[in-house]
């Protein structure tokens, strides 16, 4: 079988495994080495030190699998906003859509493993290595070269018909395949003069087209950042508990519905009914049970509760003070400290009384500082 027919066959197998689109690219050194190094050099990766690591492999994916020469890239849609959609009033209203159901890593990995097994069965001499957003792979560049989409000004990969609501995965192959042409619609035509995403980003995380500054990105602060949130980041978080969809929601290419998403990505019923206040009260065992198989586990329980406390201070919804009062009794100093900050933002006599009483028996220095600072603002 020649390389063109084999490429077509492998792409058809990918679709049979449930992926929405597939494409092939040659595995060659990155064409974006200089922009990537500039991004790291500016510190736009914020605290994600792992992004600066393994540079050689990121910029030359042939190092990841000996004698690899091609890559099979795949895309899988997830649930975009629906016309007339109503917020549930629960925790998931404040969560990026990709994280409302089961972990996409699991779904993608299972499908890629089955795809790799089929390749091995039919082409036993071919070696493979699959990735799903976990290895030192510049997967958007590979997918763009495989015709899956083009880079948008918000740095997401965009498809003219499917928008940007999709996950990416790839299988590296020790096999020569005819590559697909890059996306037919050039980047300049895809976005044109549109700048909705840049204008809509509330924190300035998109300071220029095709550039993301993670230091101002809501997703970075709510997912990747560990430990206490700097005061300036707390306002940035706004009402987002985990991730952010703003730059995708405003993109005109996302107006048209894409293919139906797998049922695994639908909002989880157990987590849908959980409120921000109830999240603050979860113990470790309940968290493990409720968030099993969820991508939200990346932030860990302490991170989610930290975020929930901040969101309650930012949105000042009904019951916020009562929920934060209970959070002042959390066994985790970081949660108590962020609850104190939020009570300082909400203000009022009740908040002042709660903070004063909590301060009397607080033993953690940083939590005490947060309580004192909150009281000083009242």
Residue 364 lies in a domain: yes
Residue 287 lies in a domain: yes
Asked if residue 47 lies in contact with residue 135, where contact means CB atoms within 8 angstroms, the answer is no
Share of the chain above pLDDT 70, in %: 97
Residue 366 lies in a domain: yes
List 133, 178, 239, 364, catalytic entry? 133
Q: For the chain, how many structural domains are there in total?
A: 2
Is 60 labeled as catalytic in the residue annotation? no
- Cα–Cα distance measured from residue 249 to residue 154, given in angstroms and rounded to the nearest whole number: 11
Predicted pLDDT at 86:
65
Give 16 or 190, the one with higher predicted confidence: 16
CA 64 to chain centre: 24
Strand ranges, E, within the chain: 21-26, 70-77, 128-131, 150-151, 157-158, 166-173
Range of the domain at 323: 274-378
Residue 369 to residues 226, 241, 337, Cα–Cα distance (Å):
19, 24, 8
Phi, psi of 74 (to 5 degrees): -135, 155
Q: Is the dihedral of CA 138, 143, 144, 146 positive or negative?
A: positive
147 and 294 part of one domain: no
pTM: 0.94
Predicted pLDDT at 257:
64
Task: State the average pLDDT over residues 208-236.
Answer: 97
Encode pLDDT of 36-83 as tens digits: 999 999 999 999 999 998 999 999 999 999 999 999 999 999 987 776
Asked if residue 361 lies in contact with residue 329, where contact means CB atoms within 8 angstroms, the answer is no
pLDDT grade, residue 160 (50/70/90)?
A: confident
Write the DSSP assignment of 177-207 as a string of letters.
-PPPPPPSS-HHHHHTT--HHHHH-TT----
Residue 32 lies in a domain: yes
Task: State the average pLDDT over residues 305-323.
Answer: 96
- Answer with the one of 140, 172, 191 that is the final residue of a domain: 191
Residue 120 lies in a domain: yes
- First-last CA distance in the chain: 75
Asked if residue 152 lies in contact with residue 179, where contact means CB atoms within 8 angstroms, the answer is no
Residue 235 lies in a domain: no
Residue 142 lies in a domain: yes
């Amino acid at each position: 079988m020649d390389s063109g027919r084999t490429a077509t066959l492998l792409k058809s197998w990918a679709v049979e495994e449930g992926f929405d689109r597939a494409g092939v690219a040659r595995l060659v050194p990155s064409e974006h080495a200089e922009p990537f190094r500039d991004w790291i050099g500016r510190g736009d990766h914020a605290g994600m030190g792992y992004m600066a690591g393994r540079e050689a492999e990121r910029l030359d994916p042939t190092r990841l699998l000996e004698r690899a020469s091609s890559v099979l890239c795949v895309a899988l849609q997830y649930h975009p906003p629906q016309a007339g959609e109503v917020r549930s009033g629960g925790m998931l209203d404040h969560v990026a859509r990709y994280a409302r159901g089961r972990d996409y890593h699991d779904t993608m990995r299972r499908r890629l493993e089955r795809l790799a097994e089929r390749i091995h069965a039919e082409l036993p001499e071919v070696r493979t290595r699959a990735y799903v957003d976990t290895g030192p792979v510049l997967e958007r560049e590979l997918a763009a070269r495989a015709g899956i989409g083009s880079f948008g000004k918000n740095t997401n990969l965009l498809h003219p018909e499917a928008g940007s609501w999709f996950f990416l995965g790839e299988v590296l192959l020790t096999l020569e395949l005819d590559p697909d042409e890059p996306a037919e619609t050039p980047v300049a035509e895809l976005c044109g003069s549109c700048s909705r995403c840049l204008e809509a980003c509330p924190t300035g995380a998109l300071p220029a087209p095709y550039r993301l500054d993670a230091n101002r990105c809501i997703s970075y602060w709510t997912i990747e950042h560990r430990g206490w949130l700097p005061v300036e980041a707390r306002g940035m978080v706004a009402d987002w508990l985990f991730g952010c969809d703003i730059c995708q929601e405003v993109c005109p290419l996302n107006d048209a519905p894409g293919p139906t998403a797998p049922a695994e990505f639908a909002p989880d019923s157990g987590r849908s009914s959980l409120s921000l206040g109830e999240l603050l009260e979860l113990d470790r065992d309940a968290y493990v049970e409720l968030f099993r198989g969820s991508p939200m586990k990346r932030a860990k329980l302490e991170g989610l509760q930290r975020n929930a406390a901040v969101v309650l201070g930012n949105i000042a919804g009904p019951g916020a003070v009562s929920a934060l009062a209970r959070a002042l009794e959390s066994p985790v100093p970081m949660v108590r400290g962020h609850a104190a900050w939020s009570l300082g933002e909400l203000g009022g006599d009740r908040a002042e009384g709660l903070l004063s009483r909590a301060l009397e028996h607080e033993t953690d220095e940083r939590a005490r500082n947060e309580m004192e600072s909150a009281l000083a603002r009242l």
